[in-house]
Amino acid sequence: MVTEIHAAVAGPSTKPLSQIPARAKLPARPIVFKGRDDQLNEIVGIICKLVAVGIAVMGPGGVGKTSLALAVLHDSRVIEVVGDHRFFISVEGMIDIGNASTLLANHLDLEGSSDPLSRSISYLQSLPRALLVVDNLETLWFSNTPSARADTENFLSRLAEVPSVTLIVTSRGTVPPSGVQWSNAEFTKLATLSLDAARDTLSRLRKLLQTLPRR
């Protein structure tokens, strides 16, 4: 049941990310997205007005941080400003920033570099405008190793310094990493959905599940 719900919310599956062009690697916009219009409009407004900014989406697990980030990536207003240069990487479960740097380079089809982060930055600098989401940062950021936390801050700050890049980070917790000038006031802290929004979401999920083929 959980797997079916996840598939219904996330939308149709695609080929493995490594087999398709970088700009086509975006996960689908959530089919069910309710109760976050204020936060969506806040973030989209920042992206449309500013360029080299950092946006942090914080909150406990399961409240919709990833869904909000994906809704932003697929918003028509953002597409009009950024075009195809919208990128999404999930660093969930990673404890080494080197793996995150390699993941980003691979996502941008820049495999094989001895310095994947620098190569990714060079590519991003060549774009007129880009939007990058780094999702599920918490395992990197909450590392008990001081050097790992410092490496994470350096990774984000270098990306945020690219003049053409808007950086969105999602993470559990209430305070994002330092080293980036986060532009959204008070950060975007997500709480649980309102009762009405939660009921509407469950209703939509039930309808979606009814359309799934029975095994």
| pLDDT tens digits, one per residue of 57-111 | 999 988 889 999 999 999 999 999 999 999 999 999 998 999 999 999 999 999 8
Q: Report pTM.
A: 0.78
- Residue 22 contacts residue 109 (beta carbons within 8 Å): yes
Share above pLDDT 90 across residues of the chain, in percent, rounded to a whole number:
50
Domain ranges of the chain: 24-211
Q: Which residue has the higher pLDDT, 23 or 67?
A: 67
Q: What is the mean pLDDT of residues 3-22?
A: 40
Crossing angle for the helix pair 116-125 and 97-107, to the nearest 10 degrees:
40
Under 8 Å between Cβ of 162 and 124: yes
∠ CA 40-178-91, nearest 5°, is 65
Compute the distance between CA of residue 47 and CA of residue 60 in angstroms, rounded to an integer.
Answer: 24
User: Per-residue DSSP letters for 82-98?
Assistant: HTT-EEEEE-TT---HH
Torsion of CA 172, 178, 184, 185, to 10 degrees: 100
pLDDT in tens, 189-205: 776 544 454 445 445 54
CATH number (3.40.50.720, 3.30.200.20, 3.40.50.300, 3.10.20.880) of 24-211 reads 3.40.50.300
